[in-house]
Structure formats: C-alpha cells, structure tokens
Amino acid sequence: MPFENRGRRLDEYIESMRIAWRDERATYHGQFVDFENVVLNPKPISKGGPPILIGGDSTAAMKRAARLGDGWYGWWAQPDIEQHLNNLRSIMNDAGRDVSDDDFSFRLGLPLGSLDPQIIYDHVQQAADLGIDELILAPPIPVRDFDRHLSSVAGAAGLI
C-alpha cells in the first residue's frame, strides 16, 4: 500500500464498515473500497458498531478522530501534553464535536519509565487535572518483567 494515501484508505475503511454495520444491504463506492448490496451479519450489538479509536499524534490523525472516530489514542510522550490536548479540543470544536460528549474519550498510553509508584500517581493526577477520564497504562516492558512492574502500578493504585 502506498504510504501517501494510507489516510484516505483508512477514512474509506471506517466509513464503509460503519455503513455495513448499519444497513441491512450495504453499498459503498469509494476510491479504495467498493461494494454493492453486501449483507453483513450478525450486526454489532452496539449501535453504530464497535467504538473506533483513532491513533496517532499528527494533526491529520486528530482531524480523523474528530471526523470519524469514537475516541483518540495517543502516547503520553509529548513534551507538552496540555498544549497537545488543547490542539485536539480545538480540532474537535471545529468539527462540531465536544470532547465532553459521552461518545468521545481521551485514551493515552502512558509509558512507565520508572517503577516509582509516586511518579505513576503523578502522571495519573496530571491526566485527571487535564480532564482525561481514561488512561491506558501501556508500559513498554518485556513480558518477563511484567510481574515486577505490576507491583509498582499496584503501589500507585494505593495512592489514589
């Protein structure tokens, strides 16, 4: 797949899947996805299909999340996470969506570089202060070290 059109392809994949999840007989004609009178069963239990989270920290990814997504998944690694989130909120507003809508939540992977429960807690508190109501703790650790890291996360949970 050519790198330069991956975003347009993803847009069509999302649009076409939502139509297939919604309609009894779905039709979609795009540049990359094309089908007519397709039946997809069983339909998802959730109205509109399963939540689609858009990943990526680029402006294009944020615009895609605002336009087509049910959530956004970014990494905590930004040097100024508050400015990054304000950018996303502005993009959401421009798309006519409000980040406080029930169908949209921030999902930020939080690389855990320290085993110190207080540092983990401080990151969680910063996220809460910024209005982030869900964090996915995704430490970049080898599986063999998971139990050791889990005890640090449990220690941070004790601080909450």
Name the nearest CA neighbour of 95 among 70, 71, 73, 63: 63
Structure tokens at 140: 């970049």
CB 71 within 8 A of CB 54: yes
Compute the chain's Rg from CA coordinates: 19
pLDDT value of residue 156: 66
Q: Quick one: tokens of 145?
A: 């070290």
User: Digits of tens for pLDDT over the chain (160 positions)?
Assistant: 788 899 999 999 999 999 999 999 999 999 999 999 999 999 999 988 999 989 887 899 999 999 999 888 877 665 677 888 888 889 999 999 887 765 666 666 665 555 677 877 887 888 888 877 777 766 666 667 777 667 766 776 666 5
Alpha carbons 61 and 88: distance in angstroms, whole number: 10
Which residue do the tokens 């069963």 mark? 41
What span, in angstroms and rounded, lies between the C-alpha atoms of 128 and 125?
Answer: 5
Tokens read off for 28: 């979609």
Enumerate domains of the chain plus CATH numbers: 1-50 (no CATH), 51-160 (3.20.20.120)
Identify the DSSP state of 156. Answer: H
